[in-house]
């Protein structure tokens, strides 16, 4: 049976843990507000960029030609897995890792390569059969535009040079503070949008100087925007899940403190009762 000293030490330890988890929750909440704002501001820009690309692509018809649109026989596929650099964020990483394993298990390991954005994904896959081509472990859930440009340059260069025939992004799409979903998006090649009924299909554009020059300027920006949008969603999801995990940990620590305090009082009461009985027994024996 635990002694009063042992229980008291454990209560102190749990209280210290609760202070840490409470502080981490507050930090995650502050970072979440910033990341959520960035994700919400990025999404309309990304969607508008996609609409513009679709509208111009439909208008260009046969004139459309750019390496990013090149669809070829698939000999090598690349999966960009976006996880976190740090833990203590609930099921954020495990859901992404399970989805990545499922996607890669359906393919020939020799025809699949993995690019890990975030230390947690790299630590999981580094001792497994999958080829890890490159890693980006310095984001720490904060947008680094220089690193994003380097990442986009690396991915697009692999596609344009024919090193990879298809590139996919696997990340957590931020929906709300309490909800996010694992999302797999095809990054490259870009599917040529088909003409649809509506204003976009009936608009006649005059391309100046020519479609190749316009798409040569637009598509690199589109590739950069899509990568930034995926990272923004991932960072917001990470902060949200960490905040929820730390909130739950703080609540559980409080419940454990209450339980240990009750146990401490019971043991203390039992010790007092035992001492009283010993005093009474001693007094009775003296009378006899």
Q: Measured in whole angstroms, how far is the alpha carbon of residue 16 from the centre of its chain? A: 28
Return the pLDDT at 21. 93
In a domain, 33, yes or no: yes
Burial (CB count within 10 angstroms: exposed 0-12, middle 13-18, buried 19+), residue 236? buried
pLDDT at 211 over 80: no
**In terms of domains, do 108 and 164 share one?**
yes
C-alpha neighbours within 13 Å on the C-beta side of residue 165? 9
236 and 263 housed in the same domain = no
* CATH code for the domain of 180: 3.40.1380.10
Q: How many domains does the chain have?
A: 2
- Residue 288 domain-assigned (yes or no): no
Nearest CA-CA partner of 243 in 101, 118, 90, 109:
90
* 163 band by pLDDT with thresholds 50, 70 and 90: very high
* Residue pLDDT, tens place only, 68-90: 888 888 899 999 999 999 888 88
Distance CA 178, CA 247 (A): 12
Query: Given a cut of 90, is residue 285 above it in pLDDT?
Result: no
Within 10 A of 88 (CB to CB), how many other CB atoms are there? Answer: 14
Q: For residue 97, what are the CA distances in angstroms to 6, 125, 170, 218, 246?
A: 40, 9, 9, 33, 21
| Residue 89 falls in the annotated catalytic set | yes
Q: How far is the C-alpha of 59 from the C-alpha of 203, rounded, in Å?
A: 7
Q: How high does pLDDT run on average in the chain?
A: 86
Q: Across the beta sheet with 112-117, what order do the strands follow? A: 131-136, 112-117, 77-82, 166-176, 179-188
One domain, residues 14 and 93: no
Domain hosting 37: range is 28-192+206-244
- pLDDT per residue as tens digits for the range 30-81: 999 998 898 888 888 888 877 777 777 666 655 566 788 888 888 999 999 9
Q: Is residue 197 part of a domain?
A: no
Question: Tokens 């870009």 correspond to what residue?
Answer: 190
Shared domain for 182 and 95, answered yes or no, is yes
pLDDT of res. 193: 59
Kindly tell me if the per-residue pLDDT of 199 is higher than 50.
Answer: no
pLDDT of residue 192: 66
Could you tell me if 255 and 178 lie in one domain?
A: no
Rounded-to-integer distance, Cα 11 and Cα 243, Å: 24
- Is 186 in the same domain as 44? yes
Residue 185, token pair as written in the block: 């998006």
Residue of 89, 116, 189, 227 with catalytic role = 89
* Same domain assignment for residues 55 and 183: yes
The predicted-structure confidence for 174-192, as pLDDT tens digits, reads as follows 988 888 899 999 998 887 6
For the chain, percent of residues with pLDDT exceeding 90? 50
285 lies in some domain: no
């Amino acid at each position: 049976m635990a002694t009063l000293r042992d229980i008291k030490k454990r209560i102190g330890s749990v209280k210290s843990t609760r202070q840490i988890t409470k502080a981490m929750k507050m930090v995650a909440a502050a970072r979440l507000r910033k990341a959520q704002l960035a994700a919400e501001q990025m999404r309309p820009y990304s969607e508008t960029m996609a609409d513009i690309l679709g509208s111009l692509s439909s208008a260009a018809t046969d004139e459309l030609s750019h390496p990013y649109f090149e669809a070829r026989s698939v000999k090598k596929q690349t999966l960009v897995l976006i996880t976190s650099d740090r833990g203590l964020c609930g099921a954020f990483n495990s859901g992404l890792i399970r989805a990545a394993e499922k996607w890669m298990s359906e393919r020939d390991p020799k025809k699949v390569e993995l690019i890990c954005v975030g230390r947690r994904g790299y630590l999981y896959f580094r001792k497994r059969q999958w080829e890890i081509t490159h890693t980006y472990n310095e984001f720490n859930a904060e947008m680094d535009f220089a690193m994003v440009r380097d990442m986009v340059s690396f991915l697009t260069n692999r596609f344009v040079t024919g090193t990879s025939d298809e590139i996919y992004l696997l990340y957590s799409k931020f929906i709300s503070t309490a909800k996010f979903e694992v999302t797999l998006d095809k990054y490259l090649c870009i599917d040529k949008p088909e003409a649809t009924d509506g204003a976009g299909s009936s608009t006649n554009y005059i391309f100046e100087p020519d479609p190749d020059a316009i798409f040569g300027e637009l598509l690199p920006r589109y590739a950069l925007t899509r990568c930034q949008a995926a990272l923004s969603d991932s960072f917001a999801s990470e902060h949200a899940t960490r905040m929820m995990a730390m909130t739950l940990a703080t609540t559980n620590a409080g419940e454990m403190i209450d339980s240990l305090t009750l146990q401490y009082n019971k043991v203390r009461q039992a010790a007092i009762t035992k001492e009283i009985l010993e005093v009474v027994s001693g007094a009775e024996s003296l009378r006899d």
